Structure 1
Amino acid sequence: MLYVIAYILSLLPFRILFAVSDVLAWLACDVVRYRRSAVRGNLESSFPEKSCEEIRKIEKRFYRFLCDYFMETLKLASMSEKKMRRHLKVENIEEINDAVEKGQSVTLYLGHYCNWEWVSSLPLHISSAARCAQIYHPLENKAFDRLLYKLRTRFDANNIPMSEIMQRLVRWKKEGVPTVTGYIADQAPGLNIHLFLDFLNHETGVYTGPERISKFLGAKAVYAHMSRPKRGYYTLRFIPVSGNVKKDKMFETSREYFRLLEENIREAPQYWLWSHRRWKRPRSMFNAFHGDKAEEMLSHL
């Protein structure tokens, strides 16, 4: 039923969905004040050089984009292949296809930036020689989990729970099938952290799992750079991170990914997920939790 409702709503033209989005953005920002303290705090600490007026402008634009994001994601339920290709322009896809045609797997690094849900349409552009997959965390609400699963697999991407990713990739590797796997790697990890780095003016603990998996696969790594030329339209281009992660020094790929992500965010800050409490586990918490073992866990750096 939830999917049927989403499908019916998705049939509405973008102009109507965006009109609803404008109302929701006003409600979220000025009435309900949805996570507003977290949004403002994240912006102020990430951009100390910006004035209060500049921070407020980014904040309002963020809420408008966040509501647009929900409407655009809803639109996935009924968007045709032709319309998706028109609204998401994919450049230099040869960066991916050249690798998979040679039998090499590709790690696609993404962030919570622009509409990352639309990247699930990449199978429309990628060689049939590859298996396309994306990693996700199942939601506690089973109905919404099934809804998102349907939306994310509309264009034949494999939606794989994080707990099953290694099992699936190992199987495909044994079968000789190259994979193109997307990782949204800018989430806040738990306290079993192996790497801290500088990101948006914060000492930031980061996930290193995507790099470790890439080393196992001997994968090529690329960053999915997204921009939003106008409302409802995106451009995606691929920036090389590593030709073969297996040959790189440990965590070199992760550092380069976060450098590219920060550059992307600074181009248009309103399109990153500022409502997420990204820095809720600082280095001080990591040190307090692990005590004398903290330095040992980071001793490989």
Structure 2
Amino acid sequence: MSLDPAALLLVAARIVPRLPAWLSAGLFAGAAELAALTGVAGVGQLRANIARAVPDASPRELRRLTRRGMRSYMRYYEESLRLPTVSEAQLGQRVRAVNDGWVRAERAAGRPVVVALGHLGNWDLAGAWATRFLAPVVTVAEHLEPEELFQSFLDFRRGLGMTIIPLERDGSTFRALLRETRSGVPLVPLLADRDLSRTNVDVALLGERARVAPGPATLAVATGATLAFVGIHYERLRGPRRQAAGSRWGIVITFGDPITPPDGASREETVTALTQAWVDELGEAVRAHPEDWHMLQPLFVGDLDPARLKPAGSVA
């Protein structure tokens, strides 16, 4: 049995917005329980990844965290598919931003900001909120097959107000990011805790060797934009805020402080140092909220296919 979130998105996008919220939430929660119980593809890897964040967890605690992780993962999909029906007032109530003052100051000064993201919480909700309440969002989408699925995915995120650049292997993606970053004052959030390219950076994450994408640091170095890490986790909503949000769940977006490049380092050394800096913050965020880290793929070098274990590519 396998879980294909991309195919689920294509089918569910046509159905979920038409369902009552309580029903769609219940269906996705049920799917999460079934996935955790039957051990569909990805659940074992999720458990292994969470175990790195909570090394002292007993087998029972690890099963509980994995179950909660699958519920969080499926909640992300259900909420994201309903985003086109969420009002601006509801959107504002579903998000609580922490330490965003310096980001607003950078935007007021005419400077773009690049943020590195992990697969934490609900990054689509965060992007939709940021577009309306913080700054224009420019980001990258992984190319999916078939093409119909990929176009549906692009239309979905662009419908939320974000500028989406497809991830291509020919270098055109980075050139497009450069143009967008230099031509305005955007917020550029890039999911980077899973390497999708031939160029990658070796880092230490949760005490183990891992490989992540160099994109956020490389873009910040190339454009002079400020780089920071952003963590996202869920929180239960109660009382008047829950009623105003139209949801039992909201997210907390925590902006890290700007990461300072090292003095006197080469371009490649700077990219490596900046990347390790945001990965350190990612590790702290994952330890604090392991159930909201939606990492169902191999990330750590110890879990990677030996065919992928080539020397890390140049990031220059």
Q: So what's the TM-score if we normalise by structure 2?
A: 0.79
Tell me which residue corresponds to 1:134.
139
Alpha-carbon contact 1:241-1:257 (below 8 Å) kept: no
Q: Supply the AA of the counterpart residue of 1:253.
A: L
Tell me which residue corresponds to 1:214.
220
CA gap of 1:286–1:204, structure 2 versus 1, over 3 A, is farther
Aligned partners of 1:92 and 1:224: how far apart in 2?
Answer: 10
Aligned partners of 1:256 and 1:235: how far apart in 2?
Answer: 21
Q: Say whether 1:165 aligns with 2:147.
A: no
Alpha-carbon contact 2:262-2:273 (below 8 Å) kept: no
Q: How does 1:277-292 map to 2 (within 5 A)?
A: 277-279=298-300, 285=306, 289=310
Aligned partners of 2:53 and 2:232: how far apart in 1?
Answer: 20
Tell me which residue corresponds to 2:6.
none
Q: Which runs of 5+ in 1 are unaligned?
A: none
Q: Say whether 1:37 aligns with 2:58.
A: no
The 3-state SS of whatever aligns with 1:242 is: coil
Aligned partners of 1:219 and 1:252: how far apart in 2?
Answer: 16
The 3-state SS of whatever aligns with 2:258 is: strand
Tell me which residue corresponds to 1:238.
255
Superposition deviation, residue 286 in structure 1: 8.2
Aligned partners of 2:158 and 2:123: how far apart in 1?
Answer: 14
Alpha-carbon contact 2:181-2:188 (below 8 Å) kept: no
Superposition deviation, residue 11 in structure 1: 4.0
Q: Supply the AA of the counterpart residue of 2:298.
A: R
Aligned partners of 1:55 and 1:198: how far apart in 2?
Answer: 22
Tell me which residue corresponds to 2:190.
183
The 3-state SS of whatever aligns with 1:229 is: strand
Aligned partners of 1:148 and 1:11: how far apart in 2?
Answer: 18
Alpha-carbon contact 1:135-1:160 (below 8 Å) kept: yes
Among 255, 264, 281, the residue aligned to 2:285 = 264
Tell me which residue corresponds to 1:204.
210
Superposition deviation, residue 103 in structure 1: 2.0
The 3-state SS of whatever aligns with 2:77 is: helix
The 3-state SS of whatever aligns with 2:298 is: coil
Q: Supply the AA of the counterpart residue of 2:193.
A: D
Tell me which residue corresponds to 1:275.
296
Q: Which runs of 5+ in 2 are unaligned?
A: 1-8, 237-247
Q: Supply the AA of the counterpart residue of 1:117.
A: D
Aligned partners of 2:164 and 2:277: how far apart in 1?
Answer: 26
Tell me which residue corresponds to 1:124.
132
Alpha-carbon contact 1:7-1:77 (below 8 Å) kept: no
The 3-state SS of whatever aligns with 2:110 is: coil
Superposition deviation, residue 160 in structure 1: 0.8
Deviates more, 1:149-158 or 1:115-124: 149-158
Alpha-carbon contact 1:223-1:257 (below 8 Å) kept: yes
Q: What fraction of aligned residue pairs are identical, expressed as a percent?
A: 19
Superposition deviation, residue 214 in structure 1: 0.6
State the Cα RMSD in Å: 3.0
Tell me which residue corresponds to 1:253.
274
Deviates more, 1:260-269 or 1:79-88: 79-88
Deviations 1:259-282 (A, max 9, x none): 111111111211112311212677
